[in-house]
């Protein structure tokens, strides 16, 4: 059931849902939401999970998410929960680096909250196109001391891309965002890491093979074996 649904930036909304959240085990997992009148569900990554409550942050990119933006408190949704494999924090070491691009930033909040809860010293880099796209700076600032922001046009934070803000001395990295950003981070990284891929999905649970990614062990489905894959297994086109 929708507990709240509010605009937080230009075309970007934050929705809270009440219900059984036990299927969500790790940061990076997603849900698949049925939209009335639409054949395909909409996959949305989880921003945060608390007892009895799960939150998502989504961007209006078409008619389906446009309809979602109008959902009011109390509306009952048909949702498939706990999909995909999330991030593994056991590999992080003591100084992990977390990098998000655009709406790839929200799925990293739960991850950072978990890492800091484990006593890790986390650096977070968030990249956006312009100032109007910037979200969650206050929320991440409450979790970490080292938060770095970039915008492509220089209207907020540092001008340029997230790779320019990558520090030295991190023990592991986590990244979520568009594929060109993930590849650039991978190519510059000085450690291994985990990458959360964005992909168009048909079924959302591995039956249609429509969201496959080429890896060293063959094709893996972003919705089933992903969306999080390790940097060492991905074969870039």
Residue range 52-98, pLDDT digits in tens:
999 999 999 999 999 999 999 999 999 999 999 999 999 999 999 99
CATH 2.40.30.10, the chain: domain bounds? 2-83
Residue 147 or 37, more confident? 147
Residue 227: asked if its preceding bond is cis (omega within 30°), the reply is yes
- The pLDDT-based confidence of 210 (bands split at 50, 70, 90) is low
Average pLDDT over residues 151-156: 97
Task: Determine which of 12-16, 41-45, 115-119, 129-133 has the lowest per-residue pLDDT on average.
Answer: 41-45
Q: What number does CATH give the domain 89-198?
A: 3.40.50.80
**Cα–Cα distance measured from residue 166 to residue 151, given in angstroms and rounded to the nearest whole number:** 14
Give the model confidence (pLDDT) of 215-227 as tens digits. Answer: 888 777 887 776 9
Q: Minimal CA–CA distance to 127: which of 97, 170, 96, 158?
A: 158
Give the model confidence (pLDDT) of 89-143 as tens digits. Answer: 999 999 999 999 999 999 999 999 999 999 999 999 999 999 999 999 999 999 9
Please tell me the predicted confidence (pLDDT) of residue 191: 97
| DSSP H or E segment with residue 40 | none
Q: Minimal CA–CA distance to 177: which of 165, 162, 167?
A: 162
Third-level CATH fold of 2-83? Elongation Factor Tu (Ef-tu); domain 3 (2.40.30)
Average pLDDT over residues 186-196: 97
CA dihedral (205, 206, 209, 214) in degrees, to 10, reads: 110
The mean pLDDT value of the chain amounts to 92
60: helix, strand or coil: coil
Backbone angles phi, psi at 146, to 5 degrees: -110, 90
Q: Minimal CA–CA distance to 179: which of 130, 235, 137?
A: 235
Average pLDDT over residues 21-31: 93
Q: Which stretches of the chain are DSSP H helices?
A: 63-68, 107-117, 137-141, 179-188
The model's pTM is 0.94
In contact, 156 and 136? CB cutoff 8 Å: no
CATH 3.40.50.80, the chain: domain bounds? 89-198
The answer for residues whose C-beta is within 8 angstroms of residue 145's C-beta and 6 or more apart is none
Average pLDDT over residues 219-237: 84
């Amino acid at each position: 059931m929708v507990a709240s649904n509010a605009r937080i930036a230009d075309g970007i909304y934050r929705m809270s849902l009440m219900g059984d959240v036990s299927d969500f085990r790790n940061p990076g997992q997603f849900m698949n939401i049925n939209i009335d009148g639409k054949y395909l569900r909409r996959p949305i990554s989880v921003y945060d999970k608390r007892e009895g409550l799960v939150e998502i942050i989504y961007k209006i990119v078409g008619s389906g998410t446009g309809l979602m933006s109008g959902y009011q408190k109390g509306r009952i949704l048909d949702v498939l929960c706990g999909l995909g494999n999330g991030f593994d924090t056991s590999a992080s070491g003591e100084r992990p680096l977390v990098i998000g691009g655009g709406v790839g930033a929200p799925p990293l909040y739960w991850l950072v909250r978990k890492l800091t809860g484990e006593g890790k010293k986390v650096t977070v880099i968030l990249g956006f196109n312009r100032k109007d796209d910037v979200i969650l700076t206050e929320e991440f600032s409450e979790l970490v001391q080292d938060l770095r922001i970039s915008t492509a046009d220089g209207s907020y934070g540092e001008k340029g891309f997230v790779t320019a803000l990558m520090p030295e001395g991190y023990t592991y990295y986590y990244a979520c965002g568009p594929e060109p950003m993930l590849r650039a981070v991978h190519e510059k990284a000085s450690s291994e890491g985990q990458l959360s891929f964005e992909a168009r999905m048909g079924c959302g649970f591995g039956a249609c093979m429509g969201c496959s990614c080429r890896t060293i062990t063959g094709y893996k489905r972003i919705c089933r074996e992903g969306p999080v894959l390790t940097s060492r297994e991905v074969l870039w086109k």
